[in-house]
Chains A and B, each alone.
Chain A
Amino acid sequence: MEYPKGLDPYNSRQHLLHHAYSPLISIQSSISADTLAQAIASTQDISILQLFKPYGNNSKYSISNQVFKITNTQLITKNYPSFPIRFEPPLPELISIKSGTTRESSSTNASTQSVSEGSGGIVSLNQLFSIGTLELLLKHKANEASDKGTGTGTSDLYLGFFDKVITSNHIVPFETFNHPITQIFVVDYAQDSLEYLREQIVHFRNFNFPKFFQINDLLMHSFVFYDPNTVSQQEIIAFEQELYTMLNMNATLFPIQAFTQEVETISISLEENSTIEEDLQRISLKSQSTNIKIPLSVDQILRTKLNEFIKKYLIPHMEQKIRYWDDQILQPKKSIANKFFSASRRLFNNEINSNIGFNSHENYYHKSSPEQAIRKLADWSLILKDFKYAYSTYDLIKKDFTNDKAWVYVASSQEMCIVSLLLAQTQQSNSNLRPDKNTLRKVRHDIVEPYMDNLSYTFKSRLNLKSYSSRAHLVVIELLLCMCNAFNISWWWTDLIEKYILKCIAEFDIQLPIGKPAVTRAILYERLGFTVGSSIYLNLENTFLLDKFFDRVKTITDKEDDDDQEAGTFINEHKIKAPINATIVGLSRFRKSAMWYLLSIKEWSLLQNKHQIETLLTNVELVYDPKQKDEWYTRKDLLLGYILNQVGKHPDA
């Protein structure tokens, strides 16, 4: 028996790696390439970017025998079944969208902080997401699910919420996950010339990038679409070579026939990796469908070619950069000589080059400073799933940030320290090695607790960036849950997780209208119920006791008449029955979990969402079985009785 039902934390861990810690690829397409995309999908309102976006998730849209080989700095190669990437618009566009919204909001909201107002684009620190809009989106999703009556369970809703919290394309100086790794120019061979491409590149390079963004790390690449029927193989290979010699740029070739009358199509969801704003826009423009139909042959080509691009260009580029930074910046920094000289350097440094070092006025490190490069190295190695190396790098660079009083960098690297550490601990490969008590004590008391306190202070009080703190909490909650699951060590973490979830709820409550029910609150209460309910304080060898408990519950609820003994047998009616949970007294928290579920149900009942109430009632059944008559909990003055009446399931009705 599975209890409670909820989202598997490993699933959310997977989503975290796919949507937050995956390479960001920016795409710029020519007009004719966009026209081609519209012809492929046979719809007017689609661009190349939208066409590619879903295919970035190559665990969902995979090819057969898909394997990605990644070699780390210790030259150990590991295979991974998927390596998702995120397609986003080019950097200038991303920055201009964000600065546009900032300028708008800064007139009304004084809390927004301008960070970099160089001669280039303005990049400012503003909230990751607005809880108000998230609430709006979730309400829509919940209503949609309840209209359908089936499908989206509450766990999907939580996953949706989690996805939206972690998905962002904000460019900030202090973390480089959203700094593009590759810039791709998509051209149509039939329409666009080499000259056009050159112009595009020059135009792109001339953009005044923010001072913390290192354009030299950007891999320039091009996708060339051509029609295999009209263009010969030699011709296109010659073009590819010419591209390389003239512009020093590699290309991936897509042999696509746009105008085929193919019957077989495949439906692709456009909702992949979209942010809250994009989703809300889609909802407000009701006409747009969330799916597009793509001919099967084109679908296959897109999948295989993207796979080729990742394997041949993207991963080697990242590996090469990481090795270079490791060799040139990190190792010299770790060396013993550097430790001797670093103190003297700090004393006698006369700030000759003002570009190097922390710009405390605008809150960023210059792109050429070693600190910014090391932070990028850590981020990239996390993307390449080398969590241990990433952890040691974050830990190292954190000290430098603290020395420079670069608080936002400190907070961000503290967050990543915890995340990379927990990711490393919860990797499937080492799941049989349970960490010992001392390690756990160190992780909890020296890393997770102090860092979380510290970073939430920095984000909330120093910078007024509450959403960053909330995101950090939610991510850490999921990873801690993963850890509880993997090693069966709930007693280490449940109280901490409970504390963090309650903190998040309190944080969101401030920003939501007072006294009104909220979907976010309901979802978080539900997650709390799941957390508490799944914490069983039993050793692995004693888990059979839990099964015994479930068996008992089942037999008692199945047949009430347990006195079907032979007639004439003496039955002592006053004999006290053993409690149901006799085998696991004090080792489970089912009643506590039911309490949190009830609070969640109450929220849903105020939101009048019957579907969610009914789904959640299954999680309460174990403790408060609504089918039992004359029980105290179905009394009409109590919450459960009131709710059962509302959904028409009251046993006395």
Chain B
Amino acid sequence: MASYYFTIIGTLDRPLYELEFASFKNPTAQGVPGKSQFSASVKEILPFIANSSLDVVEDAQWNSNQFHLGKIDAFFGLQVNGYITQGNIKFLLCYETPTNANLALHAKQDDTTLKQFFNEVNDLYVKCLLNPFYSVNDAITSPDFDLRVKLIVRKYL
């Protein structure tokens, strides 16, 4: 049951939306399904890890014509996947490296599922942008958006 941290970062490097969660698949005895298991010392630096990988995102964006940039960074066993939208908004997903037991499973689902996940979140984000009361770089506080992201999470991760 891997833990994830998902964040949307605006053009001025400020996080617009944050979500911590865990996979609903392969639930184990300990912990509630869907509740992240990051330790306190990791929790307090997660936004900084995401922010620091922006450097790499900005470098990687010139080398690829895809929006989904794949795995871009790693930090002490935390992997970072990135996605960049047309409007220079970045989606970042930090997750713990899976243990050996479910490594093979992860490798298989990894790239395609994450890509689909990012694409669907992007759809959601575009819908959010269409809202006349929302302007770029504002924090996304809509409960509906939150709910829908969680549904996508449940579907893919």
Write the residues of chain A forming the contact surface with B, with a CB cutoff of 8 angstroms: 537, 574, 576-577, 579-581, 585-592, 594-595, 598-599, 623, 631-633, 637-640, 642
Contacts and interface: CB of A to CB of B under 8 A. Distances in A.
Contact of B55 (A590, A632, A633): A590
Nearest to A590: B55
Contacts of B52: 591-592, 594-595
Given A576-B137, A632-B15, A586 B44 contact: no
Nearest to A642: B44
Interface of B: 11-15, 43-45, 47-49, 51-56, 58-62, 75, 88, 135-137
A589 B55 contact: yes
Contacts of A638: 44-45, 47-48
18 contacts: A577-B11, A579-B88, A585-B58, A586-B61, A586-B62, A587-B59, A591-B55, A592-B52, A594-B52, A595-B45, A595-B49, A595-B52, A598-B48, A633-B51, A637-B44, A638-B44, A638-B48, A639-B48
Contacts of A537: 59
Contact of B48 (A574, A595, A637): A595
Given A576-B137, A579-B11, A579-B12, A586 B45 contact: no
A633 B14 CA distance: 9
A587 B45 CA distance: 24
Contacts of B43: 637
A588 B135 contact: no
A587 B54 CA distance: 11
Nearest to B44: A639
Contacts of B88: 579
A623 B43 CA distance: 20
Given A587-B59, A591-B55, A594-B52, A632 B47 contact: yes
A574 B135 contact: yes
A588 B55 contact: yes
B58 A586 contact: yes
Contacts of B44: 637-639, 642
A506 B54 CA distance: 26
B45 to A, nearest CB: 5
A539 B8 CA distance: 32
A216 B151 CA distance: 81
Contacts of A623: 51
A589 B72 CA distance: 14
A639 B45 contact: yes
A517 to B, nearest CB: 11
A588 B52 CA distance: 11
A640 B49 CA distance: 13
Contacts of A599: 45
Nearest to A640: B48
Nearest to A577: B12
Nearest to B62: A586
A586 B12 contact: no
For B47, B53, B137, the residue with the greatest tally of chain A CB atoms inside 10 Å of its CB is B47
Contacts of B60: 586
A232 B12 CA distance: 82
A640 B137 CA distance: 22
Nearest to B139: A632
Determine the main DSSP class of A at the interface with B. Answer: loop
Nearest to A598: B48
B9 to A, nearest CB: 10
Nearest to A631: B14
Contacts of A589: 55
A225 to B, nearest CB: 59
A537 B53 CA distance: 16
Contacts of A642: 44
Q: 3 tightest A-B contacts by CB? A: A586-B58, A595-B52, A586-B59
Given A591-B55, A595-B51, A638-B47, 17 more contacts: A577-B11, A579-B12, A579-B88, A581-B58, A586-B60, A586-B61, A591-B54, A592-B52, A592-B56, A594-B48, A594-B52, A595-B49, A598-B48, A632-B14, A639-B44, A639-B45, A640-B48
A499 to B, nearest CB: 11
A589 B60 CA distance: 13
Nearest to B47: A638
Contact of B13 (A579, A587, A598, A639): A579
Nearest to B75: A595
Nearest to B16: A632
Contacts of B53: 592
Contacts of A598: 45, 48
A577 B47 CA distance: 22
A600 B15 CA distance: 24
Contacts of B51: 591, 595, 623, 633
Contacts of A640: 48
For A585, A590, A599, A631, the residue with the greatest tally of chain B CB atoms inside 10 Å of its CB is A585
A640 B44 CA distance: 9
Contacts of B61: 586
B43 to A, nearest CB: 8
A631 B51 CA distance: 13
Contacts of B137: 576
A633 B44 CA distance: 10
A574 to B, nearest CB: 5
For B11, B13, B53, B135, the residue with the greatest tally of chain A CB atoms inside 10 Å of its CB is B13
A84 to B, nearest CB: 40
Contacts of A633: 47-48, 51
Nearest to B137: A576
Contacts of A580: 12-13
A506 to B, nearest CB: 10
A577 B14 CA distance: 13
Contacts of B58: 581, 585-586
Contacts of B45: 595, 598-599, 638-639
Contacts of B12: 577, 579-580
Nearest to B136: A576
Nearest to B14: A632
Contacts of A579: 11-13, 88
B118 to A, nearest CB: 20
A598 B75 CA distance: 14
B55 A592 contact: yes
Contacts of B54: 591
Nearest to A639: B44
A271 B31 CA distance: 56
A569 to B, nearest CB: 20
For B49, B55, B75, B136, the residue with the greatest tally of chain A CB atoms inside 10 Å of its CB is B55
A594 B54 CA distance: 12
Nearest to B46: A638
A623 B55 CA distance: 12
Contacts of A591: 13, 51-52, 54-55
B57 to A, nearest CB: 8
Nearest to A641: B44
A574 B11 CA distance: 13
